[in-house]
Amino acid sequence: MPETAQHWYFNKRPKDVIEEDTLILRSEPIPELKDGEFLLRSVYMSLDATNRVWLSDWDTYMDPLPIGARMLGFIVGEVVKSRHAGFAEGTLAVGLTTWSDYVVTTGEGFVPFPKPEGISLADAFGVLAVAGPTAYVGLLEIGKPKAGDTLVVTAAAGAVGALVGQIGKIAGCRKVVGIAGSDTKCRWLVDDLGFDAAINYNKEDILDGLRRECPDGIDVHFENVGGEALDAGLTLMNNFGRVVICGLISTYNSSEPVPGPYMFRNVIMKRLTIEGFVILDYAARFPEYHEKLVGWMRDGKLKYRLHVAEGLESAQDALRLLYTGGNNGKLMVRIGAAPN
Ligand SMILES: NC(=O)c1ccc[n+]([C@@H]2O[C@H](COP(=O)([O-])OP(=O)(O)OC[C@H]3O[C@@H](n4cnc5c(N)ncnc54)[C@H](OP(=O)(O)O)[C@@H]3O)[C@@H](O)[C@H]2O)c1
């Protein structure tokens, strides 16, 4: 057992993009366990677009992370020492904790992570921790797709978007159109994931692309990006369509007020339902979502890819990939070896 642990600390609030000194890595002695605590050895950490939001001074769904605090993220790890009745040594736990290789915790924010049989820990964590439940709730419970609908998804080749499009097909959508930032990502959506069409927003105007690919209009628009894509979607919505605001990643680095959307009038003209959500609010229902998602994973109905950065020290650089499109799939960090 090591005597010291590595932790990332919030050092300096970024003005826009995350910089070299936004977070700093420090080594500290691992304290002795008290009653009711356990020591977690981190294995995988999820990097999420919202991590940048936690570094802002916005009024959000969580208390702001103060400068000088340890950076937060979702981690799955192994309980290596325990004086906690609910977390036995040798078991896996998942939760919102600090960016650390080893951490002593009271277990607050953690739940046991029963790894599904036949699925690797990386796949299980990558799909089930954040992206899968987000895609499931956002599309099925908020977007409420009906058989025959046309569904549009932005950041479609990302962790959430790729799952949304496939769940849309499972739900009977007639046409699923993805928007992504490269030809390679667009080809993956159509050739491997079964999207009906994909639009490369770096090559063509999104509205032109959507007019071509959605001749009957859009019934469900699943927004991960914001800006031009949201406006284009709003422009082409059908009557009584649903607009799911899952994420607005194109705005997370903005220090200036964000303009638009300009076609907001269509919320009235087309009698739209527009709804945002935060997946943390649905934590109590994760077992239900996991059962469905694992079933689809086992049946080969959900394909996904993981983009795994190596080592806790790579975490800050890796996080920046999300805001440039440099990630290919669910972005996570491998902090330590997966237990056998
Ligand atoms: N509401 C919730 O509870 C919840 C939970 C999880 C995630 N989310 C949201 O879901 C979205 C996707 O998150 P994720 O973790 O699955 O990440 P991801 O989609 O795997 O990665 C982010 C992708 O966003 C695209 N992107 C980044 N900046 C962009 C810009 N300025 N313009 C256009 N596209 C841009 C890039 O793809 P391209 O290469 O295609 O540009 C990038 O690969 C985020 O907005 C996140 O905040 C919400």
The half-sphere exposure of 225 on its side-chain side, counting CA atoms within 13 A, is: 27
Whether 225 lines ligand 1, by a CB cut-off of 6 Å, is yes
Report which protein residue has its CA nearest ligand 1's atom 9: 247
pLDDT at 76: 98
Rounded to 5 degrees, what are φ and ψ at 232? Answer: -65, -45
pLDDT at 196: 98
Of the chain, the percentage scoring pLDDT greater than 70 comes to 100
The half-sphere exposure of 290 on its side-chain side, counting CA atoms within 13 A, is: 19
pLDDT at 163: 98
Taking residues 237-262, what's their average pLDDT? 93
pLDDT at 258: 85
**Domain 4-114+305-334 grouped into CATH 3.90.550.10:** no
Q: Give the pLDDT confidence of 108-118 residue by residue, as tens digits.
A: 999 999 899 99
| Residue keyed to tokens 């340890």 | 70
Q: pLDDT class for 261, splitting at 50, 70, 90?
A: very high
Whether 325 lines ligand 1, by a CB cut-off of 6 Å, is yes
More confident residue, 1 or 122: 122
SS (H, E, C) the chain: CCCEEEEEEECCCCCCCCCCCCEEEEEEECCCCCCCCEEEEEEEEECCCHHHHHCCCCCCCCCCCCCCCECEEEEEEEEEEECCCCCCCCCEEEEEEECECEEEECCCCEEECCCCCCCCHHHHHHHHHHHHHHHHHHHHHHHCCCCCCEEEECCCCCHHHHHHHHHHHHCCCCEEEEEECCHHHHHHHHHHCCCCEEEECCCCCHHHHHHHHCCCCEEEEEECCCCHHHHHHHHCEEEEEEEEECCCHHHCCCCCCCCCCCCCCHHHHCCCEEEECCHHHHHHHHHHHHHHHHHHHHCCCCCCCEEEEECHHHHHHHHHHHHCCCCCCEEEEECCCCCC
Report which protein residue has its CA nearest ligand 1's atom 22: 322
**Domain 132-278 grouped into CATH 3.40.605.10:** no
pLDDT at 64: 85
pLDDT of 259 above 90: no
Task: Give ranges for CATH 3.90.180.10 in the chain.
Answer: 4-114+305-334
Our mutation pick for probing the ligand 1 site, out of 160, 184, 190, counting the most ligand atoms within 8 A of Cβ, is 160
Could you tell me the distance, in angstroms and rounded to a whole number, from the CA of residue 227 to the centre of ligand 1? 13
Distances (CA, A) of 48 to 105, 232, 322: 22, 25, 8
Q: Give the pLDDT confidence of 279-290 residue by residue, as tens digits.
A: 999 999 999 999
Contact 73, 44 (CB under 8 A): no
Task: Give ranges for CATH 3.40.50.720 in the chain.
Answer: 132-278
Could you tell me the distance, in angstroms and rounded to a whole number, from the CA of residue 161 to the centre of ligand 1? 8
Contact 236, 214 (CB under 8 A): yes
Taking residues 47-62, what's their average pLDDT? 95
pLDDT of 210 above 90: yes
